[in-house]
């Protein structure tokens, strides 16, 4: 494997930024060129990253990679890492001291970690009442039989959408932003942002709860898309997501006012290219000084592969129901920490150790009060057509 040797993380970040900017500006250079881009700039990246910039999925019989609110255990387990070599440097040998949740919290509190990258999946949204996709019996995929789909994942496949968009819009009515409220996991990330310690949050979720919690769009990479914008599938005219709400809530497939084509929310379907700002990972992950992974099965590529893109000297903290990805096998680094069990419970434990509990509760209470104001109630009724 050929690696580019750089003298500092900053020079690596500068190189990445030049490459990202060039790719975005260059006419006709879309996300499909990332394989070449990676080999030119970050050829040390894991092999399963190369050339994978479309939303892909795998079906594993009996897989339980999703999240079920009813099956989450209150049991808490903290697992510390082993001693394998890191991707961008030495991840630590077996003789190096193992990191703990308290160690990570101390460095956050003392602002040694000021470029924190967060990766999040459906497990941070199920505590808000949103059903996940894969949990047997309770996941969305298991409850889609009423739509007579050839297989559950077809509801998010672009070719099937062009054939029959009604199942997706029936699901969109359930998932549309505004139906659910953020929880402690979202507000913890908001606190990181407010304290100037959040570099970026990469989320697999399409529910919009990160935005509702006050996380700035500039700090968000919604890897699987967003309902905040929509695009006509024929003439490519763009629409604000709110313009589709009335149709979606009434069970009507939204149509373009210009050409009568179907308007599709900017959700990334299997077979579609990821959002352009996903390329920010080329800059963000080499610059990160802490990676926080929450509520994800790390099964969907290329999102799942990002966990290996931080430097080997960077601590990775997993707050999850189960060990996943490198946390589940022999690829643990000495500075990896896994806080296993209920995701919200894990976040609250970290918040307690940090001494931020009172601050986070005040933030959540202020947001709840704002959402319960008469103006917000009126807007909610108008949005739902009631």
What residues of the chain score a pLDDT lower than 50? 1-52, 57-74, 83-93, 375-386
- The yes-or-no answer on residue 224 being catalytic is yes
Q: Which residue has the tokens 């199942």?
A: 167
User: What is the model's pLDDT at position 140?
Assistant: 64
Taking CA atoms, 96 is separated from 53, 83, 159, 236, 290, in Å, by 36, 8, 51, 54, 18
Whole-number Å distance between alpha carbons of 4 and 300: 28
Residue positions forming the annotated binding site: 232, 235, 256, 259
Q: Of 162, 224, 334, 381, which one is the catalytic site residue?
A: 224
Structure confidence by residue, pLDDT tens digits, 105-142: 999 999 999 999 999 999 999 999 887 665 555 556 65
Residues in the chain: 386
User: What is the model's pLDDT at position 174?
Assistant: 82
User: What is the model's pLDDT at position 368?
Assistant: 86
Torsion, Cα of 283, 51, 37, 210 (10° steps)? -20
Torsion, Cα of 352, 356, 359, 364 (10° steps)? -60
Residue positions forming the annotated binding site for Zn(2+): 232, 235, 256, 259
Structure confidence by residue, pLDDT tens digits, 8-39: 333 333 333 333 333 333 333 333 333 333 33
User: What is the model's pLDDT at position 80?
Assistant: 57
User: Phi and psi (nearest 5°) for 206?
Assistant: -115, 10
- Contact indicator for 343, 127 with CB cutoff of 8 Å: yes
Whole-number Å distance between alpha carbons of 189 and 165: 34
Q: How many CB atoms lie within 10 A of CB 323?
A: 16
Percentage of the chain beyond pLDDT 90 is 55
């Amino acid at each position: 494997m050929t690696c580019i040797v750089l003298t500092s993380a900053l020079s690596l970040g500068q190189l990445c930024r030049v490459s990202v900017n060039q790719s975005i500006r260059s006419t006709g250079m879309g996300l499909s060129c990332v394989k070449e881009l990676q080999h030119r700039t970050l050829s040390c990246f894991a092999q399963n990253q190369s050339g994978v910039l479309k939303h892909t999925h795998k079906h594993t019989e009996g897989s339980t990679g999703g999240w079920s609110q009813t099956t989450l255990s209150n049991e808490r387990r903290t697992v510390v890492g082993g001693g394998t070599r890191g991707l961008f440097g030495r991840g630590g040998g077996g003789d190096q001291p193992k990191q703990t949740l308290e160690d990570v919290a101390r460095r956050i509190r003392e602002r040694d970690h000021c470029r924190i990258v967060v990766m999040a999946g459906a497990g941070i949204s199920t505590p808000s009442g949103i059903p996940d996709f894969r949990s047997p019996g309770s996941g969305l995929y298991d409850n889609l039989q009423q739509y007579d789909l050839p297989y559950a994942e077809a509801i998010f496949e672009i070719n099937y959408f062009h054939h029959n968009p009604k199942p997706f819009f029936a699901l969109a009515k359930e998932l549309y932003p505004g139906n659910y409220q953020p929880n402690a996991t979202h507000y913890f990330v908001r606190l990181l942002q407010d304290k100037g310690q959040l570099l970026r949050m990469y989320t697999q979720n399409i529910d919009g709860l990160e935005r509702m919690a006050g996380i700035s769009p500039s700090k968000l990479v919604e890897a699987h898309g967003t309902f905040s914008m929509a695009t006509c599938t024929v003439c490519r005219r763009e629409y604000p997501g709110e313009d589709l709400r009335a149709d979606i809530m009434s069970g009507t497939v939204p149509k373009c006012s210009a050409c009568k084509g179907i308007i599709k929310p900017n959700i990334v379907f299997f077979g579609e290219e990821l959002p352009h700002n996903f390329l920010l990972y080329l800059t963000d992950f080499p610059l990160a000084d802490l990676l926080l992974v929450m509520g994800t099965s790390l099964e969907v590529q290329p999102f799942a592969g990002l966990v290996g893109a931080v430097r080997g000297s960077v601590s990775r903290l997993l707050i999850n129901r189960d060990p996943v990805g490198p946390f589940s096998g022999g690829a643990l680094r000495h500075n990896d920490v896994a806080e296993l069990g209920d995701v919200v419970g894990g976040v609250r434990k970290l918040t307690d150790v940090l001494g931020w509990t009172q601050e986070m509760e005040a933030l959540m209470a202020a947001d709840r009060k704002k959402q319960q104001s008469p103006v917000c109630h009126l807007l909610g009724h108008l949005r739902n057509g009631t």
